[in-house]
Amino acid sequence: MIDDFQGWARSHQARIETSLEALIPTAKLSPERLHDAMRFSVLGGGKRIRPLLAFAAGELSAADEDRVTIAAVAVELIHAYSLVHDDLPCMDDDVLRRGKPTCHVEYNEAIALLVGDSLQSLAFQLLAEYRLADTPQVQLDMIKRLAQAAGSRGMAGGQAVDLVSVGKTLSLPELESMHIHKTGALIRAAVMIGACCGNSLNDSQLKNLDHFAKYIGLAFQVVDDVLDTEATTATLGKTAGKDADNNKPTYVSILGVKQARELSEELRQDAYQALEVFGSAAVRLRQLTDYIIQREF
Q: Which residues bind its own copies (CB under 8 A)?
A: 25, 29-31, 33-35, 38, 81-82, 85, 88, 90-91, 108-111, 113-114, 116-118, 120-122, 124-125, 127-129, 135-137, 139-141, 143-144, 147-148, 150-154, 156-157, 159-161, 163-164
Of 9 and 142, nearer to its own copies (C-beta) is 142
Q: How far apart are CA 158 and CA 104, in angstroms?
A: 22
Least distance from C-beta 119 to its own copies, angstroms?
Answer: 8
Of 151 and 256, nearer to its own copies (C-beta) is 151
Of 4 and 21, nearer to its own copies (C-beta) is 21
Beta bridge partners of 79: none
Least distance from C-beta 4 to its own copies, angstroms?
Answer: 37
- CB neighbours of 205 closer than 8 A, spacing ≥ 6? 60, 277, 278
- For the chain, the 3-state helix, strand and coil shares in percent, each to the nearest 5, are 75, 0, 25
Least distance from C-beta 13 to its own copies, angstroms?
Answer: 25
Least distance from C-beta 147 to its own copies, angstroms?
Answer: 4
Least distance from C-beta 125 to its own copies, angstroms?
Answer: 4
Of 149 and 263, nearer to its own copies (C-beta) is 149
Of 135 and 269, nearer to its own copies (C-beta) is 135
Three-state SS letters, 17-70: HHHHHHHCCCCCCCCHHHHHHHHHHHCCCCCCHHHHHHHHHHHHHCCCHHHHHH
Contact 138, 61 (CB under 8 A): no
Q: How far apart are CA 83 and CA 31, in angstroms?
A: 22
